[in-house]
């Protein structure tokens, strides 16, 4: 039964602002209280999220639930329409979880130059934008939320980022703005061309088909509108060749920024495709699908190769996102329920796994003050737990079955074997089978490269013995006695004394806040890997509704 508790989503989205409001009145110097209030707000929001999970009617996951439709900005015919279906639910909840976890991690990891008050406030605002985007059912509302996200992230990178932060943050901001400008134009064109009375997504989708059938909307117009939207979303995803902001933003962003960026922000783009571009303009989607597919597989290979060339761990992980989002987009481009399901799963899986990898990278940076692969070695010896977690995340990222990453990757490959068959009613033809089968093979070659760059990274950083620079600073120094066999240790011991006068402090293994922040993610990676049905059954009905338009 559908509940009509229409307050749930509005509260879930805007509750963090209450936290922001309270925090405004807390002096900056009272860091503990600031953090506490921030975390409390995020936890309360998550509480609403869990309530939403419990109240959600999984039997009707294809329907919009907790819907609100009320007037908002009448002048521009925009209404406040929010609702949640199986497509939105996982991402909506993920955004809340990630925010809480990032805040926990930040408890003792506020990046320089400090100021947790501003940092926590920004994260809460970010949360509003992310959650809002996933529930908005009105294009203008969607756009507003989509843009709200930009600012906190811009400041996060620009203020708390690395050396080159200002370049990176501006590039991030402007590149995305550039894309969303086209998106906005497309939204407006859609509204005017169809003669809509609101910006409601469902209404516009119906109007498009009506107008198209009447001949009031030409394919060219639809294609142009689609192109505008697609550009906006593609930059956000980011799809090759619009990805160049990503490595810079990721590399320069503080750990928390990278995690949120990877876990949620990139999904706004792919979600946009599934929620808006495909259902509203199916005919145009079919026209563009092969090109999207092509760019996706190029992205898969290209991203992987760029990864192989990296010397910086964080930049490598950033490029791996390009490759992984390629799989997601490939799934979407098949226009089948297989593919879109894979994409939906891939979004969440990538969020968890790459988020985890960025967390690890952040912690490595914290300890070693460098992410240069060359200088890191033998992490498993020095910080064994961190090393293991990194290995785990790397394995998940390369798509090992039994862990979440597999279910985004393999079904996407599967789906390319048989792309959408087309739908005569909507005058949508079939996609080229041969083309997609070629994509399938290229994409599966990509999985080998994924194993390549991740394991090579792992071999260079975690395996082996610590480099001279850091030798003897970690757990390797403690368990000297454990080695009963003289010769090898004597060798190591000689190194230790040689570098004992280094300037580095002792390396400590995974700390308590890190454990609290990471454990849920690690558990989720295993849980969804072992029992993917838990998520597939949530979005499958909603996805089938979309793919039906393409004959799937």
Partner 1 sequence: MIATAAPGWFLEHAYVIPLIPAVAFALIIAFGKRIPDTRIGRYTIPGGGSLIGVASMLGSLFFAAGAALQWIQYTDGENYVAAVRKSWVWWQSGGIEIGLGQQIDGLSVMVLLLVAFISTLVQIYSLEYLKGDRRYTHFFASLTLFSAGMLVMVLAENMVQLILGWEIMGLCSFMLIGHWWEEKANSRASLKAFFTVRTGDIGLLVGTAIVGLSAQKWITANGLQDQYSGFSIEGISRWALAGDSQYKSVLTWGAVALFIACIGKSGQFPLHTWLPDAMAGPTPVSSLLHSSTMVVAGVFLVARLYPVFFEGLRILDTNVNLIAVIGGITIIVAALLAFVQTDIKKVLAYSTVSQLGYMMMGLGVGAWTPAVFHIWTHAFFKCCLFLCAGSVAHSGSHHSFDMKKDMGGLWRKMPVTFVTWTISSMALAGVPFFAGWYSKDEIIDIAGGNQYWVFFAIGLAGAFLTTAYMTRATYLTFFGKARGAAAGIHDENHSDAHAPAPSAHGAADAHDAHDAHDAHDSHAGPHESPWLIKGPLVILATLAIIAGLINAPAFKIFKFEEWVEPKAMPVSLTGETIHEGSARNISVGAFGLRTSSEGESERKPVAAEGDGHSPTEGESGAEEHSAGYPGSAIEEGHLTGDCGTPGFVPAAGTTCYAPGVIHHEFEWVKALPAFLLVVLGFIISSAVCVTLYGKKRRPLAGLTERNIIARGLYKFLWNRYYLDALYEGVIVRGIAHPLARAMYWLNQNVFDGIVNGAGRSGRKVGEITYKYVDQGLVDGVVNGSGAAARGTGTALRPTQSGKVSQYGALLFAAAALAALILVLVNS
Rounded CA gap, 106 and 171, in Å? Answer: 25
Instruction: Give 359 or 436: the residue with its C-beta nearer to partner 1.
Output: 436
CB 52 within 8 A of CB 12: yes
Stretch that binds partner 1, among 162-170, 195-203, 352-360, 495-503 (CB under 8 A): 162-170
Query: Using CB under 8 A, which of 485, 494, 503, 505 touches partner 1?
Result: 485
β-bridge mates for residue 68, sequence order: 82
Rounded CA gap, 219 and 212, in Å? Answer: 8
Minimal distance in Å, beta carbon 15 to partner 1?
A: 9
Minimal distance in Å, beta carbon 136 to partner 1?
A: 12
Minimal distance in Å, beta carbon 213 to partner 1?
A: 27
Minimal distance in Å, beta carbon 110 to partner 1?
A: 21
Q: Where are the beta strands (DSSP E) in 10-160?
A: 65-73, 78-84
Binding mask 420-459 for partner 1 (x = CB under 8 A): --------------------xx--xx-xxx-xx--xx--x
What SS3 state is found at 109? coil
Task: Kindly compute the dihedral angle of the four CA atoms of residues 351, 354, 358, 361, in this order, to the nearest 10 degrees.
Answer: 160
Instruction: Give 175 or 187: the residue with its C-beta nearer to partner 1.
Output: 175
Q: Does 308 bind partner 1 (CB under 8 A)?
A: yes
Q: Does 128 bind partner 1 (CB under 8 A)?
A: yes
Binding mask 62-81 for partner 1 (x = CB under 8 A): ------x-x-x-------x-
By DSSP bridging, strand 65-73 and strand 78-84 are antiparallel
Alpha helices in 334-462 (DSSP H): 337-368, 379-382, 384-397, 404-415, 433-461
CA 159 to chain centroid, in Å, comes to: 22
If phi > 0 it is left, if psi is from -120 to 50 it is alpha, else beta; for residue 368 that is alpha
Query: Using CB under 8 A, which of 105, 120, 142, 173 touches partner 1?
Result: 173
Rounded CA gap, 308 and 209, in Å? Answer: 46
Instruction: Give 221 or 377: the residue with its C-beta nearer to partner 1.
Output: 377
Q: Does 88 bind partner 1 (CB under 8 A)?
A: no
Q: Does 546 bind partner 1 (CB under 8 A)?
A: no
Q: How many residues bind partner 1 (CB under 8 A)?
A: 94
Cα–Cα separations (whole angstroms), residue 472 to 375, 378, 383, 503, 504 = 14, 11, 11, 12, 10
Q: Does 544 bind partner 1 (CB under 8 A)?
A: yes
Minimal distance in Å, beta carbon 488 to partner 1?
A: 6
Q: Does 488 bind partner 1 (CB under 8 A)?
A: yes
Instruction: Give 147 or 496: the residue with its C-beta nearer to partner 1.
Output: 147
Rounded CA gap, 74 and 86, in Å? Answer: 29
Q: Does 515 bind partner 1 (CB under 8 A)?
A: no
Q: Does 108 bind partner 1 (CB under 8 A)?
A: no
Backbone φ and ψ for 509, nearest 5 degrees, come out as: -80, -175
Rounded CA gap, 273 and 267, in Å? Answer: 10
Instruction: Give 134 or 302: the residue with its C-beta nearer to partner 1.
Output: 302
Minimal distance in Å, beta carbon 76 to partner 1?
A: 12
Instruction: Give 152 or 362: the residue with its C-beta nearer to partner 1.
Output: 152
- Applying the rule CB under 8 A, the residues between 7 and 26 that interact with partner 1 are 7, 10-11, 14, 17
Q: Does 180 bind partner 1 (CB under 8 A)?
A: no
Query: Using CB under 8 A, which of 178, 206, 216, 496 touches partner 1?
Result: 178
Q: Does 513 bind partner 1 (CB under 8 A)?
A: no
List the one residue out of 422, 259, 431, 411 whose CA is nearest residue 350.
259
Q: Does 407 bind partner 1 (CB under 8 A)?
A: yes
Binding mask 317-336 for partner 1 (x = CB under 8 A): -------------------x
Minimal distance in Å, beta carbon 367 to partner 1?
A: 20
CA angle at 92 for the pair 145 and 531, rounded to the nearest 5°: 155
- Applying the rule CB under 8 A, the residues between 132 and 161 that interact with partner 1 are 144, 147-148, 150-151, 154-155, 158
Q: Does 537 bind partner 1 (CB under 8 A)?
A: yes
Minimal distance in Å, beta carbon 138 to partner 1?
A: 12
Q: Does 188 bind partner 1 (CB under 8 A)?
A: no
Cα–Cα separations (whole angstroms), residue 499 to 94, 179, 475, 496 = 45, 51, 16, 5
CA 231 to chain centroid, in Å, comes to: 18
Task: Kindly compute the dihedral angle of the four CA atoms of residues 287, 293, 294, 295, in this order, to the nearest 10 degrees.
Answer: 110
CA 542 to chain centroid, in Å, comes to: 20
Cα–Cα separations (whole angstroms), residue 512 to 515, 516, 518, 519 = 5, 6, 10, 10
Structure tokens belonging to residue 247? 């490595």
Instruction: Give 315 or 350: the residue with its C-beta nearer to partner 1.
Output: 315
Minimal distance in Å, beta carbon 427 to partner 1?
A: 22
Instruction: Give 241 or 502: the residue with its C-beta nearer to partner 1.
Output: 241
């Amino acid at each position: 039964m559908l509940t009509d508790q229409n307050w749930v989503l509005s509260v879930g989205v805007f509750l963090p602002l209450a936290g922001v409001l309270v925090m405004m009145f807390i002096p900056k110097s009272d860091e503990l209280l600031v953090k506490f209030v921030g975390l409390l707000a995020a936890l309360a929001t998550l509480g609403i999220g869990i309530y939403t999970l419990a109240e959600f009617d999984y039997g009707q996951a294809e329907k919009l639930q907790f819907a609100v439709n009320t007037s908002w900005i009448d002048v521009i015919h925009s209404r406040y329409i929010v609702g949640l279906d199986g497509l939105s639910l996982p991402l909506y909840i993920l955004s809340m979880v990630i925010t809480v976890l990032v805040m926990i991690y930040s408890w003792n990891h506020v990046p320089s130059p400090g100021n947790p008050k501003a940092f926590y406030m920004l994260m809460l605002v970010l949360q509003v934008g992310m959650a809002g985007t996933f529930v908005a059912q009105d294009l203008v509302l969607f756009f507003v939320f989509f843009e709200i996200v930009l600012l906190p992230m811009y400041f996060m990178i620009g203020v708390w980022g690395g050396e080159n932060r200002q370049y990176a943050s501006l590039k991030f901001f402007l590149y995305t703005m550039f894309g969303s400008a086209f998106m906005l134009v497309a939204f407006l064109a859609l509204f005017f061309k169809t003669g809509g009375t609101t910006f409601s997504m469902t209404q516009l989708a119906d109007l498009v088909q009506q107008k198209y059938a009447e001949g009031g909307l030409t394919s060219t117009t639809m294609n142009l509108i689609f192109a505008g939207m697609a550009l906006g979303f593609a930059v956000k995803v980011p799809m090759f060749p619009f990805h160049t902001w990503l490595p810079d933003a990721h590399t320069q962003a503080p750990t928390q920024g990278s995690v949120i960026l990877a876990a949620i922000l990139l999904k706004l783009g792919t979600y946009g495709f599934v929620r808006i571009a495909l259902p509203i303009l199916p005919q145009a989607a079919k026209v563009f699908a092969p090109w999207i597919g092509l760019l996706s597989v190029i992205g898969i290979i290209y991203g992987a190769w760029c990864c192989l060339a990296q010397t910086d761990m964080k930049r490598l992980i950033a490029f791996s996102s390009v490759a992984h989002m390629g799989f997601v987009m490939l799934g979407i481009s098949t226009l089948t329920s297989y593919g879109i399901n894979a994409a939906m799963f891939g979004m969440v899986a990538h969020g968890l796994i790459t988020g985890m990898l960025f967390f690890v990278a952040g912690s490595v940076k914290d300890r070693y003050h460098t992410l240069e692969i060359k200088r890191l070695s033998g992490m498993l010896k020095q910080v064994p737990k961190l090393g293991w977690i990194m290995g785990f995340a790397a394995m998940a990222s390369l798509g090992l079955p039994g862990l979440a990453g597999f279910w985004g990757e393999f079904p996407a490959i599967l789906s390319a074997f048989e792309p959408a068959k087309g739908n005569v009613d909507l005058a949508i033809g079939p996609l080229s089978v041969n083309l997609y089968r070629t994509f399938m093979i290229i994409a599966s070659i990509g999985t080998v490269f994924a194993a390549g760059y991740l394991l090579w990274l792992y071999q260079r950083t975690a395996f082996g013995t610590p480099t001279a620079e850091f030798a003897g600073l970690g757990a390797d120094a403690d368990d000297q006695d454990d080695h009963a066999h003289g010769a090898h240790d004597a060798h190591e011991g000689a190194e230790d004394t040689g570098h004992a006068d280094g300037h580095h402090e002792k390396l400590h293994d995974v700390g308590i806040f890190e454990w609290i922040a990471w454990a849920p993610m690690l558990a989720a990676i295993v849980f969804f890997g072992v029992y993917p049905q838990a998520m597939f059954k949530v979005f499958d009905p909603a996805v089938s509704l979309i793919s039906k338009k393409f004959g799937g």
